[in-house]
């Protein structure tokens, strides 16, 4: 199948120049117009990516007001169009004015085919990048609230959360720092019948051991010096809702025993209190630690572990989620650019590559912080690799047999190429340097789509 040539609209009233331009741009589908009206009707019909506009359009070849009016109209009808204005040497101020109004670039007469080819080529390139960026943005799938992913393993986790949420089962979330443990814990709560009750989070690693017990279980007035009034603990506060025990691996052994008792009996006693208070909570825990390892070292109770692992969900690190890095980066760029009122259109190809190759030890949290900073640092309109401050380095490869290595490499390359191009098979195959039919074959061999 032959690709349709990209189209460019040339608005030029001088038939000689029009012909010259047309001839020099033969790799494009060249549309022509000699007046503003013609130009606008072509624009509406053909939606060209790039427009070449002579500012000296009649009726006022010197004042350029007709040309500038055409520019304004084009940009209001099709703001993404890249307009290159043509102007005479004596008329530079109008060229500058046109750029100020949003023209992409200008081209000075006399006609020079090489210069024109460069400017036009660049305009198409930028246009394509912007279109890609837009497409990627609209491709966000949002399987759970606040969670962005297109990765198969993550999508399975989302489905699992949807299934598990309505039950009362205790859920243990395992994952490196920044992988989204809290996002998923909140999703468990949000999709449960307890959603309109409280979600109470406590970080066992952030609270000193001597305070953690009273934080969790509460205390009666006079239970210890400084206990000036009776205060319920987090468990009690979460009654009827969800209790999120973050960094459960950091819970000291004596409190592990006490928590286990609560999970078995479902009653608590405040410090210094004598009455048993029944509490109905759904428990979700999270840790980045290796609990079985801690059990064999005697640092975590095995019986508590089995209580907590009714459902265990292991969240993969970002570097193992195919195509998610670019997807998340796009989403965070959009979010933070909006928040900070910055008109940033997307990432340069080098920046996308750097995002894709980085190993993300801090996972999604690292990504978000990085993009936030880049949005502040970038001069725009595209965020480049320098703004991100990422050095291009490749990730470690696991040693496998050669065929496995090859298959996995192919799979990842295909998934990334598709993610980077917003699932555009034509562009992805170009990126991969293979034909489209070959890419389709590869996709079906790898079981994609």
Q: Site mask, ligand ATP, residues 335-374, x = CB under 6 A?
A: -----------------------------xx--x------
Q: Does 329 bind ligand ATP (CB under 6 A)?
A: no
Pick the closest to residue 359 from 317, 410, 412, 415 (CA basis).
317
> Please, which residue, 182 or 324, has the CB nearer to Mg ion?
182
Residue of 48, 178, 249, 422 that binds ligand ATP (CB under 6 A): 178
Q: How many residues lie near ligand ATP (CB under 6 A)?
A: 17
Gap between the Cα atoms of 217 and 234, Å rounded = 7
Q: Which residue is nearest to ligand ATP (CB)?
A: 180
Q: Does 147 bind ligand ATP (CB under 6 A)?
A: yes
Gap between the Cα atoms of 61 and 307, Å rounded = 83
**Binders in 367-426 for ligand ATP, by CB under 6 A:** 368
| Longest CA span, the chain | 99
The stretch near ligand ATP (CB under 6 A) out of 22-30, 156-164, 180-188, 207-215 is: 180-188
State in angstroms the smallest separation of the CB of 291 from ligand ATP.
15
Q: Which residue is nearest to Mg ion (CB)?
A: 182
Residue-by-residue DSSP string for 219-257: E-TTSSTT--S-EE-HHHHTTTSEEEEETGGGS-HHHHH
* Phi and psi at residue 84, to the nearest 5°: -105, 125
Q: Which does 93 bind (CB under 5 to 8 A by kind): ligand ATP, Mg ion, none?
A: none
State in angstroms the smallest separation of the CB of 363 from ligand ATP.
7
The DSSP bridge pattern shows strands 277-278 and 267-268 to be antiparallel
CB 227, CB 221: distance < 8 Å: yes
436-445 vs 402-420: helix crossing angle, rounded to 10 = 120
Cβ-Cβ contacts under 8 Å for 436 (sequence gap 6 or more): 425, 426, 429
Q: What angle do CA 407, 408, 412 make, to 5 degrees?
A: 120
Residue of 81, 133, 170, 179 that binds ligand ATP (CB under 6 A): 179
Q: Does 249 bind ligand ATP (CB under 6 A)?
A: no
Q: Does 175 bind ligand ATP (CB under 6 A)?
A: yes
The stretch near Mg ion (CB under 5 A) out of 25-33, 178-186, 255-263, 361-369 is: 178-186
> Please, which residue, 148 or 418, has the CB nearer to ligand ATP?
148
Cβ-Cβ contacts under 8 Å for 48 (sequence gap 6 or more): 7, 8, 9, 31, 42, 81
> Please, which residue, 91 or 182, has the CB nearer to Mg ion?
182
Residue of 66, 182, 250, 356 that binds Mg ion (CB under 5 A): 182
Structure tokens, 441 = 């074959």
Binding interface with ligand ATP (CB under 6 A): 146-149, 175, 177-183, 288, 328, 364-365, 368
Binding interface with Mg ion (CB under 5 A): 182
């Amino acid at each position: 199948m032959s690709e349709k040539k990209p189209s460019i609209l040339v608005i030029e009233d001088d038939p000689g120049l029009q012909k010259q331009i047309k001839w020099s741009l033969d790799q494009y589908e060249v549309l022509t117009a000699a007046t503003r009206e013609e130009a606008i009707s072509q624009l509406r019909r053909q939606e060209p990516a790039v427009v070449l506009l002579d500012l000296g359009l009649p009726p006022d070849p010197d004042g350029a007001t007709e040309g500038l009016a055409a520019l304004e109209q084009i940009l209001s009808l099709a703001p993404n169009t890249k307009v290159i204005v043509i102007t005479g040497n004596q008329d530079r101020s109008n060229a500058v004015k046109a750029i100020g109004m949003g023209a992409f670039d200008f081209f000075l007469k006399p006609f020079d085919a090489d210069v024109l080819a460069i400017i036009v080529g660049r305009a198409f390139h930028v246009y394509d990048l912007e279109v890609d960026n837009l497409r990627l943005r609209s491709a966000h799938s949002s399987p759970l609230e606040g969670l962005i992913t297109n990765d198969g393993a993550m999508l399975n986790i989302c489905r699992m959360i949807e299934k598990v949420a309505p039950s009362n089962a205790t859920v243990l979330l395992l994952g490196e720092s920044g992988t989204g443990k809290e996002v998923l814990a909140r999703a468990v709560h949000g999709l449960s019948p307890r959603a309109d009750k409280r979600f109470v989070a406590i970080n066992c690693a952030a609270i000193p051991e001597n305070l953690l017990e009273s934080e969790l279980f509460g205390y009666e007035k006079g239970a210890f010096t400084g206990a000036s009034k009776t205060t319920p603990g987090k468990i009690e506060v979460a009654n009827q809702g969800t209790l999120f025990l973050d960094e459960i691996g950091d819970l000291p052994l004596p409190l592990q025993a006490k928590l286990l008792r609560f999970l078995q009996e479902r009653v608590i006693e405040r410090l210094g209190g004598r009455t048993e208070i029944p509490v109905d909570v759904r428990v979700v825990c999270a840790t980045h630690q290796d609990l079985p390892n801690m059990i064999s070292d005697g640092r975590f109770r095995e019986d508590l572990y089995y209580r907590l692992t009714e459902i265990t969900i292991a969240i993969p690190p970002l570097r193992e989620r195919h195509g998610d890095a670019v997807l998340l980066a796009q989403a965070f760029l959009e979010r933070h650019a909006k928040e900070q009122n910055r008109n940033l259109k997307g990432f340069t190809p080098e920046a996308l590559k750097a995002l894709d190759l980085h190993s993300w030890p801090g996972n999604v949290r690292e990504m978000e912080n990085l993009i936030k900073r880049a949005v502040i640092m970038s001069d725009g309109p595209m965020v480049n690799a320098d703004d991100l401050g990422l050095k291009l380095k490749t990730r470690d490869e696991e040693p496998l047999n050669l065929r496995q290595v090859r298959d996995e490499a192919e799979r990842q390359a295909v998934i990334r190429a598709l993610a980077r191009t917003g699932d555009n098979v034509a562009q992805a195959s170009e990126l991969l340097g293979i034909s489209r039919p070959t890419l389709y074959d590869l996709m079906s061999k790898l079981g994609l789509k």
